[in-house]
């Protein structure tokens, strides 16, 4: 059996609920059927163990001081700052010493690409997912000119754009979510393969009830677009909705900082659940799930999660524009805050409409089951 080296900046088996971790785990489970698979990654502790047929080697993550030193070194070398943040000297040493023992090298994101981008190796595959440069550029544009971090996003958007171009030149295959992003790339399109995100199971947890008052948001709050989306909703939109009906509750599910948990949690209409192992109990009695990001590239996994549970979703135009596997007129989409509020009220009060969106979601999501999505990996 041929050997595959899978490099990931986050441990695919950590149990963390984030899109890159979920995707990495599904990819490794797919590859183990065809290859003798070794995963090298970064985590809280160093370890070597077997998870089923997969060999997992973790290298201990560095503290914040080391990370800032690495970020500074990246800046001096005109490399993306995030490469420094996710760099591990020990992981790099392992790759340099062992890469010739493998037949295929698979990198999960550009953060992992740094370990092999310049190595002479025929079958290097990069799951880019979405274009980080697009995200950083969008964030730069919406930040106030008075905000000093605006300059950081400008610098990073330029550096990561250059690095993405380097990856397009140096990898055998590149995987991306969105056809729209693939079309925007000035490179050999034969190198690029569209692999969507997927879901493990379809479970209809939605039951319409006029007394339902729960608005959901699922996402990692350490991801800036999620943080901005929740902050804007709590500060601007939620007060307007509460004036119409004071019983509405905004529920946030996902990893969150202690600061945001404290600040947002002071609002009695906001419920913060943090990182959870089982989503199902929290999804009952929901009106809808929000994908209200103003900054978006690739596919938002939260949207697929809502759909897989039959929960009506509401998406911003920015989110749905990248979701080319679904027609933009299929699911509720808003262009401004008034439309967002109108859709929330409609899903709460209109049983027929709400159930129709739930049914549509359950039908549309079938094509996103992982076994269907990952079939295209056989093309590599």
To which H or E segment does residue 260 belong?
helix 258-265
Asked, colleague to colleague, whether 3-195 and 214-368 share their fold, the answer is yes
- Number of Cβ within 10 Å of residue 63's Cβ equals 8
- Tokens representing residue 306 in the block: 């809502």
β-pairing, 47-51 vs 54-60, is: antiparallel
**187 CB-contact burial (10 Å; exposed 0-12 / middle 13-18 / buried 19+):** middle
Q: How confident is the model at residue 379 (pLDDT cuts 50, 70, 90)?
A: confident
Q: What is the CA 130 to chain-centroid distance, rounded? A: 9
- Write down the pLDDT at residue 327: 62
pLDDT at 3 over 90: yes
Question: pTM of the predicted model, to two decimals?
Answer: 0.86
Topology of 214-368 in CATH?
Rossmann fold (3.40.50)
pLDDT at 220 over 60: yes
DSSP string, 78-109: T--HHHHHT--HHHHHHHHHHGGG-SEEEEES
Return the percentage of the chain with pLDDT > 70, whole number.
97
pLDDT at 325 over 80: no
- Identify any residues that bridge with 359 across adjacent strands, giving them in sequence order: none
Q: Is 215 helix (H, G, I), strand (E, B) or coil?
A: strand
Which residues does 195 contact at the CB level (< 8 Å), separation at least 6? 127, 175, 176, 177, 373, 374, 376, 377
- Tokens representing residue 295 in the block: 């900054």
- Write down the pLDDT at residue 329: 60
Q: How confident is the model at residue 145 (pLDDT cuts 50, 70, 90)?
A: confident
d(CA 150, CA 140): 5
Beta carbons of 161 and 114 less than 8 angstroms apart: no
- Write down the pLDDT at residue 16: 73
d(CA 75, CA 156): 9
Return the percentage of the chain with pLDDT > 90, whole number.
59
80-94, 169-183, 228-242 — which is least confidently predicted?
169-183
pLDDT at 65 over 60: yes
To which H or E segment does residue 39 belong?
strand 36-43
- Write down the pLDDT at residue 298: 53
Whether the CA torsion 116, 122, 127, 128 is positive or negative: it is positive
- Write down the pLDDT at residue 336: 94
- Write down the pLDDT at residue 11: 93
- Write down the pLDDT at residue 317: 87
pLDDT at 328 over 70: no
Which residues does 367 contact at the CB level (< 8 Å), separation at least 6? 325
- Write down the pLDDT at residue 299: 58
Residue 302 phi/psi, 5-degree rounding, is -60, -35
- Tokens representing residue 118 in the block: 């310049």
Mean of the per-residue pLDDT values of the chain: 89
DSSP string, 45-80: S-EEEEETTEEEEEEEPPPHHHHHHHHHHHHHTT--
Which residues does 112 contact at the CB level (< 8 Å), separation at least 6? 7, 8, 9, 86, 126
- Tokens representing residue 258 in the block: 């202690």
Reported as a single tens digit per residue, the pLDDT across 7-48 is 999 999 987 767 788 899 999 999 999 999 999 999 988 899
d(CA 355, CA 345): 14
d(CA 288, CA 206): 9
Q: What ranges do the domains of the chain cover? A: 3-195, 214-368
Residue 291 phi/psi, 5-degree rounding, is -125, 65
pLDDT at 297 over 70: no
User: Which CATH code is given to the segment(s) 3-195?
Assistant: 3.40.50.2000
Q: Is 370 helix (H, G, I), strand (E, B) or coil?
A: helix
d(CA 161, CA 267): 39
d(CA 287, CA 212): 6
Whether the CA torsion 173, 177, 180, 181 is positive or negative: it is negative
- Of 267, 304, 298, 266, give the one whose Cα is nearest residue 17: 304
């Amino acid at each position: 059996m041929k050997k595959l080296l899978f490099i990931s900046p986050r441990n695919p088996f950590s149990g963390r609920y984030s899109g890159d971790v979920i995707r990495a785990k599904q990819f490794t489970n797919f590859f183990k059927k065809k290859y003798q698979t070794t995963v090298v990654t970064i985590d809280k502790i160093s370890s070597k163990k077997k998870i089923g047929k997969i060999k997992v080697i973790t290298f201990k993550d560095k503290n914040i001081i080391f990370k800032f030193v690495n970020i500074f070194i990246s800046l001096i070398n005109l490399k993306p700052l995030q490469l420094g943040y996710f760099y591990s000297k020990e992981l790099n040493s392992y790759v340099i010493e062992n890469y010739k023992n493998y037949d295929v090298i698979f990198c999960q994101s550009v953060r992992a690409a740094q370990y092999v981008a310049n190595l002479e190796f025929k079958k290097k595959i990069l799951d880019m997912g979405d274009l980080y440069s697009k995200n950083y550029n969008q964030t730069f544009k919406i930040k106030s000119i008075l905000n000093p971090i605006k300059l950081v996003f400008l610098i990073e958007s330029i550096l990561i754009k250059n690095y993405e171009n380097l990856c397009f030149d140096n990898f055998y295959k590149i995987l991306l979510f969105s056809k729209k992003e693939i079309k925007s790339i000035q490179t050999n399109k034969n190198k690029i393969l569209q692999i969507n995100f997927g879901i493990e199971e379809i479970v209809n947890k939605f039951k319409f009830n006029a007394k339902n008052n729960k608005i959901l948001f699922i996402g990692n709050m350490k991801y800036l677009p999620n943080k901005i989306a929740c902050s804007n909703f709590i500060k601007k939109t939620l007060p307007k909705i509460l004036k119409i009906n004071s019983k509405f509750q905004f529920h946030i599910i996902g990893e969150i900082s202690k600061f945001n948990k404290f600040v947002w949690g002071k609002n009695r209409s906001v419920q913060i659940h943090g990182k959870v192992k089982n989503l199902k109990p929290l999804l009952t009695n929901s009106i809808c799930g929000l994908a209200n990001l103003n900054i978006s590239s690739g596919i938002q996994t939260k949207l697929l999660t809502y759909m897989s549970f039959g929960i009506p979703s509401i998406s911003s135009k920015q989110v749905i524009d990248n979701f080319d596997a679904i027609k933009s007129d299929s699911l509720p989409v808003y262009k401004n805050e008034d439309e967002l509020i109108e859709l929330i009220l409609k899903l709460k009060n209109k049983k027929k409409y709400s159930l129709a969106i739930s049914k549509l979601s359950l039908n549309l999501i079938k094509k996103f089951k992982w076994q269907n999505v990952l079939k295209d990996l056989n093309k590599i």
